[in-house]
């Protein structure tokens, strides 16, 4: 198994934000929203942790007219582009963006009926802090839906995944994807984290050739 190589916690340069936003995430985002909606009804306020440039909240709101999302990210330039994307999509009244550190959320206990996140965990050196905060701000009976890349077993698999899923990307974008793969947690590592939080590790499973997904209801 490859060792975990940490990635920058906040992708906060203009070039990183622009290159991230211009990558083709459409298929991944559609799959995320499809699976989120299949996990249960989305009522009340939704929190998106590590929203990047707000592509997933936009996709969710297009498919769920009642959705209201608070989308947060630690990176200033991601949030700036996200606000532009939300405005262009005509969703200013349904998606609000804030620059917030996911490890220290400034929100009350149980505020959100759903907490979702795509690809925040691999950015965090100690992800238990983000997971614990996500659990704290989720309402009783609420849904937690997290998805991220898992770290491949060897270099050959990293190369294959980059060549498959970033084939049309520029050099910087390909490197960002590779760095994210190498920074990811394995399914077993994620299950161990969930167990340490006294939650069911069986709620984490591999869902694609490069993603794990954690789906849980807060009792």
Give alpha helix (H) positions in the chain: 14-22, 26-38, 55-63, 76-88, 128-137, 155-165, 171-183, 187-196
Render each residue's pLDDT in the chain as its tens digit; 219 residues.
899 999 888 777 888 899 899 998 999 999 999 999 999 988 899 999 999 999 999 999 999 999 999 999 999 999 999 999 999 999 999 999 999 999 999 999 999 999 999 999 999 999 999 999 999 999 999 999 999 999 999 999 999 999 999 999 999 999 999 999 999 999 999 999 999 999 999 999 999 999 999 999 998
Task: Identify whether 167 is part of a domain.
Answer: yes
Task: Identify whether 5 is part of a domain.
Answer: no
Q: What is residue 142's predicted lDDT score, i.e. its pLDDT?
A: 97
Structural domain that includes position 101: 14-217
Q: What is the pLDDT of residues 116-128, one digit of tens each?
A: 999 999 999 999 9
Task: Identify whether 84 is part of a domain.
Answer: yes
Specify whether the CB–CB gap between 54 and 85 falls below 8 A. yes
Strands, sheet with 68-73, edge to edge from the N-terminal-most edge strand = 95-99, 68-73, 45-49, 112-118, 138-149, 211-217, 204-206
CATH number of the structural domain spanning residue 130: 3.40.50.150
> What DSSP character marks residue 102?
T
Report the domain count for the chain.
Answer: 1
Query: pTM of this prediction?
Result: 0.96
């Amino acid at each position: 198994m490859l060792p975990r190589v940490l990635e920058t916690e906040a992708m906060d340069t203009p070039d990183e934000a622009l290159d991230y936003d211009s990558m083709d995430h459409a298929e991944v985002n559609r799959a995320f929203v499809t699976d989120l909606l299949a996990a249960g009804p989305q009522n009340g306020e939704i929190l998106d942790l590590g929203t990047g440039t707000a592509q997933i909240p936009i996709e969710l709101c297009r498919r769920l007219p009642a959705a209201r999302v608070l989308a947060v990210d630690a990176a200033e330039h991601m949030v700036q582009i996200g606000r532009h994307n939300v405005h262009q999509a005509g969703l200013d009244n349904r998606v609000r963006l804030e620059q917030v550190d996911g490890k220290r959320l400034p929100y009350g206990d149980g505020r959100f009926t759903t907490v979702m996140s795509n690809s925040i965990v691999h950015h965090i050196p100690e992800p238990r802090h983000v997971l614990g905060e996500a659990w704290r701000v989720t309402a009783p009976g609420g849904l937690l839906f997290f998805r991220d890349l898992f770290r491949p077993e060897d270099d050959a698999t990293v190369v294959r995944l980059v060549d498959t899923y970033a084939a049309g990307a520029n050099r910087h974008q390909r490197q960002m994807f590779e760095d994210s793969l190498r920074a990811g947690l394995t399914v077993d590592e994620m299950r161990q984290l969930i167990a340490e939080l006294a939650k069911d590790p069986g709620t984490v499973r591999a869902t694609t050739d490069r993603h794990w997904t954690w789906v849980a209801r807060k009792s």
